[in-house]
Each structure stands twice: as structure tokens, then as C-alpha cells.
Amino acid sequence: MGLHPQYLSSFWKTQYLLLRMDGPLPYHKRHYIAIMAAARHRCSYLVGLHMGEFLQVGGNPAWLQGLHCAPQKLRNLNEVNKLLAHRPWLITKEHIEALLKPGQDSWSLAELVQALVLLTHYHSLASFVFGCGIKPEEEQDVGSSCWAPSPHSNSSPASGDTMGGSGGTDAMQEVQVLMERMKLLQENQLEEEGVTQEEMATRFELEKTESLLVPSSDILDPSLQSNIRCFLEDPEFGYKDFTRRGEQAPPTFRAQDYTWEDHGFSLINRLYPEVGQLLDEKFQVVYNLTYNTMAMHCGVDTSVLRRAIWNYVHCVFGIRYDDYDYGEVNQLLERNLKVYIKTVACYPERTTKQIYAQFWRHFKHSEKVHINLLLLEARMQAALLYALRAVTRYMT
């Protein structure tokens, strides 16, 4: 994240507030919720980190033997944790109601909102960790704790940002083609070609259905480390690969019906004030973050590309923007990039160095990390919108 200092500063402020500042939940429970969230994606790096933090703030070591040793109140959060991590569109006001129901183990609304923010924060942070290839020390290859700064898999020159051979020529052409498409789309936007609402809706459904056909990289190794297995109930539950089971895609969530700006932000601000402000700033920073460069080119307006990546992540989770033409996604995101986005956003634990190396072969490592930041925040916002919509429905 340090490659993007403006973002890092915003991220740290949010995470510091979530874990270390006053809030409805005691500190040890916050770290335990982080462990539960990271375990859903088998993220041993984050699980290990927060097991240590949990003990440092005085958490009961017995709880670390597994979810079955934690208090019932935390165990009750497991269903919402599971849905938010893999299929957030299934969260309903009934799930919220069950947690808030008066009784010995009930949650207050303020506690629950803090827990929902923590869960979505750590699910999406797991995406970033896997997307950048960050591993705990004991799992590292010699001398490497994340994907190498060189974006090129095989014998790349020392500079890391140039390529020899025909692979280099192909990659150069890919950059040129992408830049020409971006320019065309930007010019077309100025002309405002009349595309009907029906056509826009059809293009979204097409993109959503196609995204289900994008395979994830490889099959997950079923052997789970015991330090993660013990925090998981129903480990087989994951993002649905709908096409294989002949099931439906997630129902379409019209972004205009429940937006972050008009609904989610104000709800969090009422129940957990400072966090709403910091989340909003973090979403803004990453959405607008640009250096006006692309691979070896400077002075490039990358806004259409950044929007396509953000909207594609939301599309994979069923969220549709009425005023966006999803035809742009198909024109700007090559297949390898779609495979990467889908994997990191939906099954981050399956991310491999190979799929990281295969997309945007001539782009700098920092630009690929930039994509991971967009994925992290778009994924977090998507899951939060589903969770907060359920809270709003419960309250009304």
C-alpha cells in the first residue's frame, strides 16, 4: 500500500479507528471478529496477525482454540460473516433481527454496525493480501513476502519495467489498443450517443451472466491449516459459480435504490459517526486516485478505466448502475484481467502468481497494486451496501 501514500494514509486512519479508538465493541472482540472474517478466505496472514493482537489486548487464549470456544454472542455472528464474505445479496432484515433480538446474547444496533464494518473490512483486506501475494513468514519463498515488483513472470530485465522478445511487443500492442479504446469511449461520451434504458439494462445482464462464465484460477486445496479450520463453520460455503449448478445469478441490486452517498453513509454516521466519514474519504481517495500514467505513457486520463474496474466488481456482486453502459467493461477489460478481478474479489484464496502475471503484462507493479486497491474498496462497498440495506429494512 505504501506505493500509494495518499491511499495508505486514509486506510490507516480507518483501520486505527476501527481497532483502537472508542467504539461500541471491546477491543479483544474486534480482533476476534477480524479473525472470523479473514478465516472465511483462509487468509493465514491476517488470522495470525490478529490472533497475536487479540492476546495483546487481553483476549482469553481459550477462544483461539476455535469458534466453538468463543461466547455464543460472537458465534451468532457466524451466519452473517459467511454470507457477507461469499454471497452478500442473501443478507436480509431477518438476519439482522435475529442478532438484535432481546436476550442474554443479543447485539445492540451500534455494536452490530461496528461488527458489519469490521467483517467487510477484513473480507476485502483478504482480497488485497492475496491479490498482492502477501504471505506469513513461515509460508514465504526464500526472500519474497509478496509478488515480485517485476510484473513479468519469466526472465525479465533488471529494470523490471521493460520486456524483450515478442512477448514485449504483444504487451506493447495491448497497451496501445487499450489507450485507443479509452480515447474513443471518452469522445463518445462527449457526443452522448442515445442508448435506451432497455439496452443499458440488457448490457448489464449480459455482463453479469458472462462474469459467471469467467473461471476462477484453480481449485482450492481442501487441506485447511488447523489454525484456520477451527474458526470456520461450513467451510465449503463460497461464492456461487452459478453456471455449473444451473442456478441463477445474484438478483440485480439497482444502485440507485440504495446508494452509499444517500443511504449507507448517513446510516453509519448515525450509529458509528466518525467511521462513516473515514470510509467515505477512503472510497473517494481510491476512486479518484490517478497519476495520469499508464504503463510507459504519461498525461493519460484513466477515469473510464478506473470506473470500468469498479463497476465490474459491483457487477460480479449483482449491483447495477442505471446510468452506466456495461459495454465499456467488455471493451476495456481483457479476459485475463476479468479472470484476475473475479478471482481476487470472489475467491481470493485461489489467486496465483500466474494470473497476476498474465494480465496487463507491460504495466508497472504499482499499477497492479492500484487495481488491488480498487478491488478492495469496491468489494467492501458492495458488501456494506447489502448489509446496511438489511439494517435499514429492519429499522423501517
Angle between helix 109-131 and helix 44-56 axes, rounded to 10 deg: 140
With vertex at residue 199, the alpha carbon angle to CA 196 and CA 200, rounded to the nearest 5 degrees, is 90
3-class secondary structure, 30: helix
With vertex at residue 256, the alpha carbon angle to CA 255 and CA 261, rounded to the nearest 5 degrees, is 90
> 178 CB contacts (<8 Å, ≥6 apart)?
294, 305, 332, 334
Q: Backbone phi, then psi, for 319, in 5-degree steps?
A: -95, 130
CA distances from 149 to 128, 251, 353 (A): 15, 39, 12
Is 212:249 a contact under the CB 8 Å cutoff? yes
- Contacts of 175-184 with C-beta under 8 Å, sequence gap 24+, read 175/294, 175/295, 175/296, 175/297, 175/362, 175/363, 178/294, 178/305, 178/332, 178/334, 179/294, 179/297, 179/300, 181/331, 181/332, 182/300, 182/301, 182/302, 182/304, 182/305, 182/332
H/E run at residue 155: none
Q: Which three cell numbers stand for residue 360?
A: 496487463
Q: Backbone phi, then psi, for 241, in 5-degree steps?
A: -90, 85
CA gyration radius, the chain: 21
Which one from 43, 132, 315, 346 is the annotated catalytic residue? 43
3-class secondary structure, 144: strand
Check if 43 is active-site. Answer: yes
3-class secondary structure, 237: coil
Give catalytic residue positions.
43
